Homo-oligomer: A and B are copies of this chain.
Amino acid sequence: MPTAIGNIAIYVSDLEKSERFYVNALGLEVLTRINTPAVHEVIVGSSSGGSNLMLAKATGSEAPVRPEGIWKVFLFTDDVAELQQRAIAGGAEWVADPEHLEQFKVTIAFVKDPDGYLIELGQRHT
């Protein structure tokens, strides 16, 4: 019985704002939209591969979103410094400047999304 993960869903407080952030600032694509009476959902990712993140807003809830439990969303890019600048210009909160990790052959930087979810930006070095 094969199993695979379709997506991982997080609650957001403002779906349009989060969609703009993940698409315009982080460079991801909208892969699917699902609207039901109870919840509005936008799945973001890359059509060329990788994992899928569902941004979800319960229609009847104005409760604050608590970015706990989830630690981070990890994004690959080919220019981590530029992506971090673009993310901050697009509303991200700065967390940590790019740092090269020789052990893992990667440079990583951190920002937070509009709800405070931690985003790790990573650039592989070969």
**Contact residues on A (Cβ < 8 Å of other chain), bracket:** 35 or more
How many copies of the polypeptide does the oligomer hold? Answer: 2
Question: Closest Cβ of chain B: how far from A84's Cβ, in Å?
Answer: 11
The chain B residue with its CB closest to the CB of A47 is B4
Cβ contacts under 8 Å, A45 to chain B: 4-5, 51
Would A54 and B71 be within 8 Å (CB), given that A2-B77, A2-B78, A4-B48 are in contact?
Answer: yes
Contact between chains at B69 and A68 (CB < 8 Å): yes
Q: Are B74 and A6 closer than 8 Å at their CB atoms? A: yes
Bound Cα distance from A10 to B117, whole angstroms: 11
Residue among A1, A9, A26, A70 having the largest count of chain B Cβ atoms under 10 Å: A70
Task: Write out, one digit per residue, whether chain A residues 73-92 have a CB within 8 A of any chain B CB (1) or not (0).
Answer: 11111110011001000000
Extra A-B contacts (9), CB below 8 Å, given A1-B82, A2-B27, A45-B51: A3-B77, A4-B51, A6-B76, A8-B72, A11-B69, A51-B52, A56-B71, A68-B69, A69-B69
